[in-house]
Amino acid sequence: MRLTATQLADFRTQGFLILPELFSRAEVDVLRAEAARLFAEDTPANIREKISGEVRTVMGLHLRSEVYARLCRHPRFVEPARQILGTDGLYIQQAKINAKVAFTGEAWQWHYDFATHHAEDGVPEPLALNLHVFLDDVTEHNGPLIFIRGSHLGGPVATALDTQTTSYALWTVDNETVAQLAKTGNLVTAAGPAGTALIFGDCLVHGSPPNMSPWGRSIFSVILNPIANAQTRFARPDFVHHRDFTPVVPLADDCLLTAPARVTT
């Protein structure tokens, strides 16, 4: 799979791409079935909401699941990432599902990914790409990602560590900066049916509101980073920021549908 010249130009100017139907219903069904199993596990790699105790993020996915190990190496993710970054030397920096349970899923503050990976893990440059696929239909009502279009264009903006708002410490962008960026770029809701994919860069400012709707929404995310740009500090657990710099090699296009059925013991 190759991005078109228009898609590449859009990515450069907007900072993101929304790719409807990148994954089929059958592929989403495989991912959803496997997600249910992973959410039920009792592990520190499952981060819980402060208030409700519901699982908010399931981390370290490619080490916990053959299906998600394959998804991280899916050619519909890896090939566009190689194309955008101009290198085949990419590794898996983070692989997770962010869930927002119906009625209770909490907000993600305004932030960009590089701020946290730079401050916490010493990633040198804002090169990594965040690749998502929706495991549920995502609408304006169930806590979608909101992108500030073009907010990456000036490079990394100032951030501060927020350990209070939610159960996951995050380097966030202040209100004044968000207001200034949104005035120029406006806000874009990243919505679409299950199977829709997103690609966005390490400096794109985004956030997401709480989910007050009766519909849960889970989104898979893999961050691919150039090996030459790997972390230089190793303080956080591996499931938050992986330290295996083996290059990702794309699998066959049908790799999700041929994944071996899990043997239940």
- The nearer residue to its own copies, 182 or 227, going by C-beta atoms, is 182
Does 213 help bind its own copies (rule: CB under 8 A)?
Answer: yes
CB of residue 198 vs its own copies: minimum separation in angstroms? 18
- The nearer residue to its own copies, 215 or 245, going by C-beta atoms, is 215
For the CA atoms of the chain, what is the radius of gyration? 17
Alpha-carbon distances, residue 114 vs 103, 121, 202 (angstroms): 30, 10, 5
- The nearer residue to its own copies, 118 or 217, going by C-beta atoms, is 217
Angle at 241 between CA 21 and CA 223, to 5 degrees: 20
CB of residue 191 vs its own copies: minimum separation in angstroms? 9
**Spatial distance between the Cα atoms of 15 and 9, rounded to a whole number of angstroms:** 10
**Spatial distance between the Cα atoms of 243 and 233, rounded to a whole number of angstroms:** 10
**Spatial distance between the Cα atoms of 114 and 153, rounded to a whole number of angstroms:** 14
- The nearer residue to its own copies, 61 or 181, going by C-beta atoms, is 181
- The nearer residue to its own copies, 39 or 103, going by C-beta atoms, is 103
CB of residue 2 vs its own copies: minimum separation in angstroms? 33
| Beta carbons within 8 Å of 264's beta carbon, 6+ residues apart | none
CB of residue 59 vs its own copies: minimum separation in angstroms? 24
Which of 31, 61, 146, 170 is close enough to bind its own copies by CB under 8 A?
Answer: 146
Residue 183's nearest CA partner among 148, 140, 144, 145 is 148
Does 52 help bind its own copies (rule: CB under 8 A)?
Answer: no
- Tell me which amino acid residue 204 is: L
Binding mask 148-167 for its own copies (x = CB under 8 A): --------------------
Say what angle helices 5-14 and 75-85 make with each other, to 10 degrees: 70
Which of 1, 8, 63, 187 is close enough to bind its own copies by CB under 8 A?
Answer: 187
Which of 4, 6, 164, 175 is close enough to bind its own copies by CB under 8 A?
Answer: 175
- The nearer residue to its own copies, 7 or 52, going by C-beta atoms, is 52
Does 21 help bind its own copies (rule: CB under 8 A)?
Answer: no
Scanning residues 85 to 114, which ones bind its own copies (CB under 8 A)?
A: 102-103, 107, 110
In the complex, which residues of this chain contact its own copies (CB under 8 A)?
102-103, 107, 110, 139-141, 146, 175, 178-179, 182-183, 187, 189, 207, 209-210, 212-215
